[in-house]
A = this chain, B = another copy of it.
Amino acid sequence: MAHRTGRRRSGLVTLAGDLGWAYAAQLKAVLVRTVAPGRLIDLAHDLPAHRVGEAAFVVRAMAQRFPAGTIHVVVVDPGVGGRRAPIAIACHDGSALVGPDNGVLAPLVEALGGGVAYRLDPQRLHAPARVGTTFDGRDLFAPAAARLAAGARAAALGPRTSFRRLDLPPPVRRRAGAVGTVVHADRFGNLITDIPTGWVPGSVRGLSSRVRGRTRAVRWTTSYEAGGRGRLLGLGSSFGTVELAVGEGRAADRLGAGTGDRVRLAWPVPRSRRGVKR
């Protein structure tokens, strides 16, 4: 039952979260004691503070293409010091994840084919005494990752446990449209939804979006510059889902919208299907 993921390690350890660089540096001081510093990879430390759902989406995108067997440490942990458990997850592909059990790891686990969670037992981490109760990233997660990188199995770090999934309403497909959610507002102000790009018929050139009570025309395109300055655009994002953008502008500002907002898309019924009915 204990998964022997230690055999298939890539030797890489990635770091991601909302800690900012100064706190993240303190994880590195712990990790370099067992990990060659050249094997530590900074993903992002500036994820939106405390937004577990958005971070989970971005973390999956950042981490899922790394070689199997990589150790991913994720610290987006508003509940630190409270009841949520510190966990390590041995993924079936040989990767291991370390972080808080608040759902931030769940989409990545799924993308990596599932895994088994263990609740970190501070006594088994060989870590120095904790300073305060507010920084499990440094005091528990980094020591756990250091032990995994040194060859320990996740099962050696604590008892088996279940782990929390995110309860997100899935996007809904309609006859000529879809309803979904903004799951990420990126650096450029683009609004990334969870509506699969593949749901939009290939023949579509324009559609309408309804966000925050207002319906707008959207040009469906493949580049930000196609529609001209200031135009509201829809594109197939790099996440595989529909994205709303503004030519040379910021969709988040234009629509006054952000992560968590609902998005309704409607597109014309394809001609062929209309023809059959009439």
Chain B residue nearest to A65 (CB atoms) is B29
User: A267 interface residue, CB < 8 Å from B?
Assistant: no
Chain B residues, Cβ within 8 Å of A46: 20-21
Count class of interface residues, chain A = 35 or more
User: A259 interface residue, CB < 8 Å from B?
Assistant: no
* Bound: A188/B186 CA distance, A: 20
Asked whether A37 and B41 contact (CB < 8 A) given A32-B66, A82-B223, A223-B133, the answer is yes
User: What's the number of copies of this chain in the assembled complex?
Assistant: 3
* Bound: A244/B219 CA distance, A: 43
User: A113 interface residue, CB < 8 Å from B?
Assistant: no
User: A80 interface residue, CB < 8 Å from B?
Assistant: yes
| Residues from 203 to 251 in A contacting B, C-beta threshold 8 Å | 221-226, 235-240, 243, 248
* Bound: A48/B97 CA distance, A: 32
What string of 1s and 0s marks CB contacts (under 8 Å) between A132-144 and chain B?
1111001100000
Shortest distance from the beta carbon of A45 to any chain B beta carbon, whole Å: 7
Shortest distance from the beta carbon of A43 to any chain B beta carbon, whole Å: 4
Chain B residue nearest to A221 (CB atoms) is B81
Report which of B37, B45, B80, B221 forms a contact with A12, defined as CB distance below 8 A. Answer: B37
Other than the given A37-B41, A80-B223, A134-B223, 14 more pairs (CB < 8 A) read A20-B44, A21-B43, A21-B45, A22-B62, A22-B187, A25-B41, A38-B38, A78-B224, A81-B222, A81-B225, A82-B226, A131-B236, A132-B236, A139-B238
